[in-house]
Structure formats: C-alpha cells, structure tokens
Amino acid sequence: MTSNTRVVVIGAGLAGVRLARRLGELGTPVTLVGDEEHRPYNRVLLAEVLAGRYSPDVIALPAPAELTRARVTGIDREARTVECADGSKIAYDRLVLATGSNPVLPPLRGLFTPDHVLPEGVHAFRTMDDCLGLSKAVRPGAKAVVIGGGLLGVSAARALAQRGAQVVLAQQGERLMERQLDPSASKLVQRHLKDLGVEIHTECRVRDVRCVGGAVRSVEMADGYALDADLVVLACGVHPRVGLAQVAGLDVRKGIVVDDELRTSDPHIHAIGDCVQHAGTVYGLATPALEQADALAELLAGDLTARYTGTRSLTRLTLTGHDSPFDLAAFGETEALPGDDVVQLADATRGTYRKVVVRDDRLVGGVLVGELGTVGALARAWEGAEPLPSDGGPLLHLLTNDGGS
C-alpha cells in the first residue's frame, strides 16, 4: 500500500476506532464512518452507565480526530465506493467492515407495533441510545423484566436493581450464563443477583409482551403466568451485522467470512470485530475485536507478514457496585469430560469459587468467581497451551498462587 491508498472503515465501535487509531499512529490516514450520534464509546461499560456508576463521558474512547457521521447503505465493488444514507459517496482503495452486531429480537407476540418499532417500555441493550433510554425510564420501584440470562441479561438486571427497580430475570436455559459458567459458578451469580433483590426464573420461556395504548404492561410466560412490567429489556443475544456485506455479494455464513489476513471474499475489502467469522468462529467479544484490529492495522500499514490466527480469550465480568463488588472470569471448557483432571476450591461463606480443568497435561478451561488473584497466571498457562509439569502440584499452585497478577 502507498501513503495515498484510501482506507475507509465502516463502523466506529471498539474494532473500527482501534483500527483507525493504530493506523493513524503508523502514519496511514483513514476515513472512519460511524452511524451512532454519540462520541465513540466502550460498549463493554454500558452497564456501568446504566447502573449510574459512570457518566457517558467516562466511557468515551480516545477516537481519531476525523470521524464521518453517516450510515453506509451500500457498497459498489466495481466503482470501489460506498454510498451513505444522505446520498454522498466515499471512494476507497481498501474498505474495512467493522459493523458489529445487532441484538436478537425474540419472536414474541406483541413485540412490534404495526410500524415495526418496539412498544414503549421495551428496550434492547446494545447502544448508548438504548442505555440512555433505559436509564431515563427506570425509577425506584419500577417493575422491570429482563428477558435472557446470559452475560448481557445478568449485567442489565444487576444495573437496574442498583437503580432501585424491582427486577425479574427470565432465563430460558437451565442456569445463568450457561455459555461461560459451570453449574457451581452459575449458582454464585444467581445468589449475587438475589442478594441485590433480583427475582430469577430459569427454564422459563416468555411468550408474549402485552401492551396497552402502545406501552408495555406485562410479560406472559409459556405456562400462562403473567408478570407486570413497566420496563422490559431484551437480552437474548446478538447476531453479526452482515446486511451490507450480503447485499454486496461477499461470502457470508454466520458472519462475514475472513481469512488470516482478515480479508473477505473481495481482496479489496476486509472485516473485523463482531461482524466476522474467522476459522468458523464468530466471537462476539471485545478482545478478539481488538486483536483483529491490531493485526489488520499492521497489515494495512505495510507489514505483509502480520496475521490473525484466532483468540483464546477469557470472558471477564467485573461488576463493581458501591457495596457489593462481584468479579468473575471464565475461559475454555469449564465442564470436565471423563478422564479430565479437575481441581476446585469453594468457599461458601465468602462466595468464592475456583476451578480448573486439565486434559492431557494441558489447561483446557477454568472459572474463577469472587477471587481473581490467580487470573493472570491461569490466562498465561491457557493462552500458551504449554504442557503442565505432570506431578499434579501445579494445578493447585495455579489456583492458589496469584503469580503477581
């Protein structure tokens, strides 16, 4: 690439902003196009804004000076231009899609008004606008129902409870955060939420959202049980935002398919972050998005050896309330297969739990709740995938020695 190469990045979220900043530092100018009204921000910290702990300014990202606020509506691959909603066109030599994810809207009766907007009181939880809308609507004593008990639902329920709402969390699965946590860790999360006053229903399918005069009034379960609701939060997962790529004819499966150079099926178009599928995986997490941005910055700035080969990243949830801090980290496989070695340390009084799973002398997963002193040492052992010494001692050592982290 020459210094005249026009790099255009669509999406000013975590991945797009990181890429633009890195390229700026490496002397490659970029046009960054984002459709959100707000200054770019760290989405991971939205729950802290909802909880009233941070103001929106605190979670702003150090964005590059040049940001074009526009929604890109089409890509002309022949002409190498993108078209924006206001009719303007931007030419590129290299285009990067960093369009993130959309919230999954569950197929519930009553969820959409005839003009396809969510009823008053029903909110997704993905953007700063969602967060500010929810924040404005929540009052002490308000009846809030959170649908979905994954990372997002747990964060939203906790934040709303901290704002004084009466929160009910409805989780279709058997337990909370089942993608990341084993049953013991999940129980601790449940206990933590209950201590904050959140009522939790597991194995509970919501079927209907009932509205009066366009505003939500209650949520009905599959068994007919109804919960009064002033507010409903949809936290049912996300799917990659791939519409632009699809219409442009790029290879899209679960996400936009990219190779180790983060290149799509068109050699002039790259993609990074939540919207991509790399080696069969759609991550939907912050660390892979940032690592992809860093690798692509190196490549576009001229290091032709740079590659992205995947991320072994742990999920970390830090919920630091004034009176009730709660930390957890989970990585890899947290449930053992027959023949695996497992070490667990649990302290019911302090609400802490630590567990590692080892297979063929390699650490394959672990979960830490409430006591994260060893997380650095564990992450290094996991990311390195080095064989552990075989005398059994290191397992306990990994769980009890904080390794200076």
**Does 16 sit near ligand FAD (CB under 6 A)?**
yes
First vs last C-alpha separation in the chain: 40
Q: Where are the beta strands (DSSP E) in 24-112?
A: 30-34, 67-69, 72-76, 81-84, 89-91, 94-97, 101-103
Q: Which of 7, 8, 9, 15 binds ligand FAD (CB under 6 A)?
A: 15
Determine if 35 is a binding residue for ligand FAD (CB under 6 A).
Answer: yes
155 lies in the binding site for ligand FAD (CB under 6 A) = yes
Least CB distance to ligand FAD at residue 349 (A): 27
Question: Which one, 125 or 353, has the nearer CB to ligand FAD?
Answer: 125
Q: For residues 50 and 395, which CB has a smaller minimum distance to ligand FAD in the complex?
A: 50
Query: For residues 199 and 90, is the Cβ–Cβ distance under 8 A?
Result: no
What residue number has its CB nearest to ligand FAD? 13
Query: What's the rounded Cα separation, in Å, for the pair 47 and 54?
Result: 9
Only segment of 40-48, 136-144, 258-266, 340-348 that touches ligand FAD (CB under 6 A): 40-48
Applying the rule CB under 6 A, the residues between 44 and 103 that interact with ligand FAD are: 44, 46-47, 71-72, 98-101
- Residue 288 burial by Cβ neighbours in a 10 Å radius (0-12, 13-18, 19+): buried
Closest by CA position to 229, among listed 244, 250, 242, 212: 212
Partners of 330 in the β-ladder: 315, 367
CA distance 331 to 316: 9
Of the two residues 73 and 352, which places its CB atom closer to ligand FAD in the complex?
73
Q: 233-272: which residues touch ligand FAD (CB under 6 A)?
A: 241, 244
The token pair that represents 294 in the structure block: 């860093």
| CA–CA dist 29, 31 (Å, integer) | 7
- Three-state secondary structure call for residue 264: coil
For 271, the enclosing helix (H) or strand (E) is strand 269-271
Stretch that binds ligand FAD, among 137-145, 147-155, 369-377, 388-396 (CB under 6 A): 147-155
Q: Which of 161, 285, 300, 399 binds ligand FAD (CB under 6 A)?
A: 285
Nearer to ligand FAD, 12 or 165 (CB): 12
- For position 10 contacting ligand FAD by CB under 6 A, the verdict is yes
- Least distance to ligand FAD, CB of residue 66, Å: 15
Site residues (vs ligand FAD, CB under 6 A) = 10-16, 33-36, 43-44, 46-47, 71-72, 98-101, 125-126, 151-152, 155, 241, 244, 273-274, 284-287, 289, 317
